[in-house]
Homo-oligomer: A and B are copies of this chain.
Amino acid sequence: MTRNVTTDAIRLKALGHPVRLGIALSLAAEPETCACDFAEAFDVSQPTVSEHLRVLREAGLVTTKRRGTQICYSLDPEAVRTLERLLGALRVTRTRSRTLARTP
């Protein structure tokens, strides 16, 4: 129950950027995508993509695999599952506090 709020927050923050979220969604549909494919897809420079990938990597959201000169990125399914569980914990479990319910 006492989940690691800090780790979760780091991962949510990592996904909390349009480019990085777009990269993650793209990786869900197409695993093992090379870094070079993202620069053109999201209209940012190569160093910027590399930086965003670094954030995702350090958050533990993606894994890498070198394939020749290029480096392929994939989503870490375990990390995604962890976030899904977190979102599940955000589902409201009670409709209203009984103490507050008495107050008009």
The contact of A94 among B10, B29, B89, by CB within 8 Å, is: B29
For window 24-63 of chain A, which residues contact chain B by CB distance below 8 Å?
A: 24-25, 27-33
Q: Is the Cβ of A21 less than 8 Å from the Cβ of B12?
A: yes
Chain B residues with Cβ under 8 A from A27's Cβ?
Answer: 92
The size of the chain A interface, using a CB distance under 8 A, is 46
The 25 listed contacts between A and B (C-beta, < 8 Å) are A5-B25, A9-B16, A9-B21, A10-B16, A11-B16, A12-B12, A12-B13, A12-B16, A13-B16, A16-B16, A25-B90, A27-B92, A28-B89, A29-B94, A30-B97, A31-B95, A32-B96, A77-B91, A77-B92, A80-B90, A80-B91, A83-B90, A84-B87, A84-B88, A84-B91
What residues of chain A have their CB less than 8 Å away from a CB belonging to chain B?
5-6, 8-18, 20-22, 24-25, 27-33, 67, 72, 74-75, 77, 80, 83-84, 87-97, 100, 103
